[in-house]
Amino acid sequence: EKLFSGFSKTRDNLAVIDELLLYWNLSDTDRVLDELEEALLVSDFGPKITIKIVESLRDDIYAGKLKSGSEIKDALKRSVLGFLTNKEVKTELRLGFRKPAVIMIVGVNGGGKTTSLGKLAHRLKQQGAKILMAAGDTFRAAASDQLEIWSERTGCEIVVAEKEQAKASSVLSQAVKRGKEQGFDIVLCDTSGRLHTNYSLMEELISCKKAIAKIVPGAPNEILLVLDGTTGLNMLPQAREFNEVVGITGLILTKLDGSARGGCVVSVVDELGIPVKFVGVGEGVEDLQPFDAETFVDAIFS
Ligand code: GDP
């Protein structure tokens, strides 16, 4: 329901498609597809995906494969679903066999990293895992206070820096070491999110990754990039850069309960070939859901 309400603006933008298709006939195809193209662009699908979708509909219409407005609409929904699901990568977390599994949460400030980490801790704990949180955002003093609140809220233990301005990599390696010695199943690592254009952040993330791998070979098992779902296509260059530098294994899209820009989800998945693993639909402990492409497609098309 929250996802559905968050996409009301996207749905409104796309509602015009229903009207267009209701009165569609073959001779009207080019005009209808032009307007459909416009609706997809306004909904943040981006030019690349929009052109792919519209041209494949055009081909199928002129080849006689789509004979009615409702067949065109179904083909449109199938095509969007295809972009979200045709990757080899899985949407479930890959935690491997070695304990502890380590998940790094990365992204720019304000996107929802700490909140997502807290919600993920709650979710994994409910599934029976013993979770340790690591306050790796040593740059912003308030970040570890915020994570401590999540630690209390979820009943998960936490490792924080012992002194101000500690190195993020040493806090995370201390946490992973403790995770290993004390039999934790999963260590969830928060990281700093100062502007992604700041080179030293990327350097820091790389050294965090190396520090973790020194203690548990093969870890981090997941590096999840948190993207604010309300930022639209602006999330693309951001995602690209994080992926190039640290190698992202999955996405968490947050604030999809607000006024989320639906189409960019499809663009980012298609362009990076990285699956959305979770979506954030609020600020409460329960407000993180596994991503389900079909539910998503139903939420953006009325
Ligand atoms: P960080 O700087 O990336 O760690 O971001 P925070 O976790 O501090 O989140 C920034 C703001 O976004 C906070 O006010 C959060 O409560 C809010 N927030 C995070 N995720 C969601 C979400 O899924 N929905 C809504 N409505 N707010 C969110």
Q: What does the pLDDT look like over 116-151, one tens digit per residue? A: 999 999 999 999 999 999 999 988 878 999 999 999
Question: Residue 296 CA to chain centroid, in angstroms?
Answer: 13
Q: Give the pLDDT confidence of 257-279 residue by residue, as tens digits.
A: 887 777 888 998 998 999 999 99
Separation between Cα atoms, residue 206 and residue 201, nearest integer Å = 9
Ligand 1, residues 191, 254, 285: which to mutate, most atoms within 8 A of Cβ? 254
Closest CA relative to residue 150, chosen from 179, 112, 183, 184: 112
Q: Which atom of ligand 1 is nearest to the CA of 137?
A: 4
Separation between Cα atoms, residue 280 and residue 199, nearest integer Å = 28
Nearest residue (CA) to ligand 1, atom 6: 112
> Does ligand 1 lie within 6 Å of residue 258's CB atom?
yes
Nearest residue (CA) to ligand 1, atom 13: 112
CB 239 within 8 A of CB 121: no
> Does ligand 1 lie within 6 Å of residue 122's CB atom?
no
Tell me what the pLDDT averaged over the chain comes to.
92
Overall average pLDDT of the 196-216 stretch = 87
- Does the pLDDT of residue 197 top 70, yes or no? no
pLDDT of residue 185: 98
What backbone phi and psi angles, to 5 degrees, belong to 234? -60, -20
Q: Give the pLDDT confidence of 85-107 residue by residue, as tens digits.
A: 866 667 789 998 889 999 999 99
Separation between Cα atoms, residue 60 and residue 74, nearest integer Å = 12
> Does ligand 1 lie within 6 Å of residue 191's CB atom?
no
Q: Is the peptide bond before 220 cis (omega within 30 degrees of 0)?
A: yes
Overall average pLDDT of the 71-79 stretch = 96
User: What is this model's ipTM?
Assistant: 0.99
What CA–CA distances, in Å, run from 197 to 24, 170, 239? 47, 23, 12
Give the position of tokens 């999963």: 186
Provide the b/e sequence for 163-195 (b: ≥16 CB within 10 Å): eeebebbbbbbbbbbbbbeeebbbbbbbbbbee
Q: Give the pLDDT confidence of 176-196 residue by residue, as tens digits.
A: 999 999 999 999 999 998 765
Q: Which atom of ligand 1 is nearest to the CA of 143?
A: 4
Kindly give the distance from the C-alpha atom of residue 17 to the centroid of ligand 1, in angstroms, as a whole number. Answer: 33
Overall average pLDDT of the 209-224 stretch = 96
pLDDT of residue 302: 75
> Does ligand 1 lie within 6 Å of residue 119's CB atom?
no
